[in-house]
A and B are shown apart, each in its own frame.
Chain A
Amino acid sequence: MRPVLYVLSFLALIALGSWAYRENYATQAALKEVRVLQGTIADLREALSVQRAEWAYLNRPDRLRDLVALNFDALRLLPMEPWQFGSPGQVAYPVPELPAIAPPDGAGDLENVQSTSATDEGL
């Protein structure tokens, strides 16, 4: 019984050793990847901040004002004026959808008649 235990524990030792060896390298690889990813993230963040700065720069008020003046013929944009406020009363209600016309007795045939005649013409 005892030799079997010895052999088993020895095998377990070898198995655990090789597992630890593999884990060690897997961890190192993961850490390396994390480092690369963090570098990428930092680069992307920097690019993002540059884009944001550029967006702010291109949207600066004096440039927009100049663009509006340059393109006045096409856009006709003017500064906002007090009279441009509307009131909810000025907005038209959406036109209510008309209910389907309920066919009076026998009127439903009209469509059938028409479609029949159309088919006839096709024929």
Chain B
Amino acid sequence: MRTPLRPLARILLARQMGENPDRIERDNLAARNEALREKTQGRAAARLGLMAVAFGCAYLTIGLRMGHLAASVPVEPVASAPGAEIVAQRADIVDRNGRILATNMTTSALYAHPRDMVDPKGTARKLAAIFPELDAAALERHFADGRKFIWVRKVLSPEQMQKVHEIGDPGLLFGPREMRLYPNGTLAAHVLGGYSFGAEGVHSAEVIGTAGIEKALDSRLRDPAQAGTPLALSLDLSVQATVEEVLAGGISVMNARGGTAILMDVRTGELVALASAPTFDPNDRPVPPTAKDAEPSDSPLFNRAVQGVYELGSTFKIFAAAQAIELGLVTPDTMVDANAPMKWGKYKIKEFENHNYGPLLSVRDVIEKSSNVGTAHIALMIGGLRQQAFLKSMGFFDPLPVELVEAPGARPLIPKRWPDIVTITASYGHGLSASPLHLATAYAAIANGGIYLKPTLLKQSGPASGPRVISEATAAEARAMLRSVVTDGTASLGEVKGYEVAGKTGTADKPKRTGGYYKDKVINTFASMFPASDPRYVLIVTLDEPVDTSGSRPRRTAGWTAVPVAAEMIRRVAPLLGLRPAVEAPAGLALTAASVN
């Protein structure tokens, strides 16, 4: 109820007393203001309190939620999970057409808790009966020596798993496992390499690559973000299978210890096939040789195409000729000194079987007849420094950047000093060693018109680019010379109708480990490209210690061993690559009588 500011009773009383009635009004006004002030203050305090409580609640909620998130085990959001995409922990490997080369399979591992076993002795015996490689006595000992946990087998087949179930011992337990499967067996074994288990737990185990591309690109294959996209290689499954088949056949016909074949696309640097024999099954990778005096190339694990660092012999002659043409020192028709034997200081340079193709030979004939002396003279014209620089630009001084874990270790063997005698021997492929893949890469540069491309095992989307090492005109001259080697020279067995094979043979004596060379052990190489008029592919075939015994005496030159194998390979593989044989000029058109009846 509102109190009046000037209550009449008090005013009258004050007037009677002779006081100023305005004082009463002032007092009342002050009292009213005081009450109003108190009321406002109280309301403000209540509002502030409410705000404080609200903020307190908000902070408490956020704090509790943060604490909960920090302390609880993370779970995937179920409602919006695209998580079902990821099933495999390691990406598949496929060929260039998407056919599977390596994939994953779920299987189980077998482990035991010996303390939970009902009948350790009987279980050990039954397990040994299921898995022949297990030793019953050793297993029994392990079950009895008080340990709590023991791995029995890393992977099981479903049948084996069923048999273990049938033992029915509660101490035998299974853990899920993902294993790597190479469905094509030995196919492209040296490229794929192999796998093994890394860190192992009961619930899962790491699958890691142990060799080849599986190890070189391990982090890509294990990347969860890319687990759904298979790794596409440049290999073509059918071409690779054919190359391996022909190579294996060639090795057995030529009585060789081993061999390798490389098929490379000269426009992209893609390796369409890469085979090395003898081979192995990556599903059951053999153990590497551990004996000290073991020759690494005796093991099937040895990748001759990449790790086999050989003196590649006369296949190098074309580099000397191409460089001399590039430098303008010679043309294919220039006559050079080829008078054998050639004396250089205390060394004597001879021809194959002590021939003498001299006294003068055109550069084309030097390549065609594979004259060491002629090449030596060409190399001396070029000079050691320029020769080194050229071979370096062709990649012969460095390991190749191909996607195999073995590649960086396969360093070419280069002489430390480069006197004239090295210039001479290097010109015909002796005194320095490189892998067949180095040779393929260098020949691809000649085949594609002078561009050096890095070899790759990954599928490329289009033509690659690289540094130019020789001019297009020089490359064309070199190809013409290589073509004449097949039409008129040492590789006459390499002719494949319709595919204009061009190439160069190389027969190199095998070096002894103790120094010097074997008399009757050779490494034969045929480096070829086809079709010569517009090369698409380079094929290198190398055979280790081949002998052709079809004649009256054993023949060990590449022309008799590696060349026919390569020719058969081209004949089989070119149609698979979609290469149409070039139409040969018809011998003569004639009408043939035919009857329609």
The residues of A with any CB-CB pair to B shorter than 8 Å are 30-31, 34-35, 38, 41-42, 45-46, 49-50, 52-57, 59-62, 65, 79-85
Contacts and interface: CB of A to CB of B under 8 A. Distances in A.
A35 B78 CA distance: 7
Given A61-B187, A82-B571, A49 B83 contact: no
Given A34-B79, A35-B78, A81 B575 contact: yes
B42 interface: no
B147 interface: no
A57 B184 CA distance: 6
A49 B79 contact: no
A56 B183 contact: yes
Contacts of B242: 79
Nearest to B579: A82
B571 A61 contact: no
Contacts of A53: 100, 103, 105, 181, 183
B79 A62 contact: no
B185 A62 contact: yes
Given A61-B237, A61-B238, A80-B576, A85 B581 contact: yes
A83 B581 CA distance: 8
Interface of B: 78-79, 81, 83-84, 87-88, 99-100, 103-106, 181, 183-187, 237-238, 241-242, 245, 496-499, 571-572, 574-576, 580-581
B581 A49 contact: no
B103 A61 contact: no
A41 B84 contact: yes
Contacts, number: 80
A6 B457 CA distance: 77
B182 to A, nearest CB: 9
A62 B241 contact: yes
Contacts of B87: 42, 45-46, 49
A46 B106 contact: yes
Contact of A31 (B79, B88, B99, B571): B79
A85 B100 contact: no
B78 A31 contact: yes
Nearest to A27: B79
A84 B185 CA distance: 30
B495 to A, nearest CB: 13
Contacts of A62: 184-187, 241
A56 B101 CA distance: 8
Contact of A38 (B83, B103, B184, B186): B83
A56 B184 contact: yes
20 contacts: A34-B78, A38-B81, A42-B84, A45-B84, A52-B100, A56-B99, A56-B184, A57-B181, A60-B184, A61-B187, A62-B185, A65-B245, A79-B572, A80-B576, A81-B571, A82-B498, A82-B571, A82-B575, A84-B575, A85-B575
B156 to A, nearest CB: 15
A56 B576 contact: no
Nearest to B578: A85
B88 A49 contact: yes
Contacts of B104: 49
B497 A82 contact: yes
Nearest to B77: A31
Contacts of B498: 82
A83 B571 CA distance: 10
A82 B570 CA distance: 10
A82 B78 contact: no
Nearest to A60: B184
A61 B576 CA distance: 14
B568 to A, nearest CB: 10
A52 B94 CA distance: 12
B103 A80 contact: no
B138 to A, nearest CB: 34
A82 B581 contact: yes
A42 B89 CA distance: 13
Contacts of B185: 60, 62
A67 B168 CA distance: 41
B245 A57 contact: no
B84 A57 contact: no
Given A35-B78, A49-B88, A82 B499 contact: yes
Contact of B183 (A30, A57, A82, A85): A57
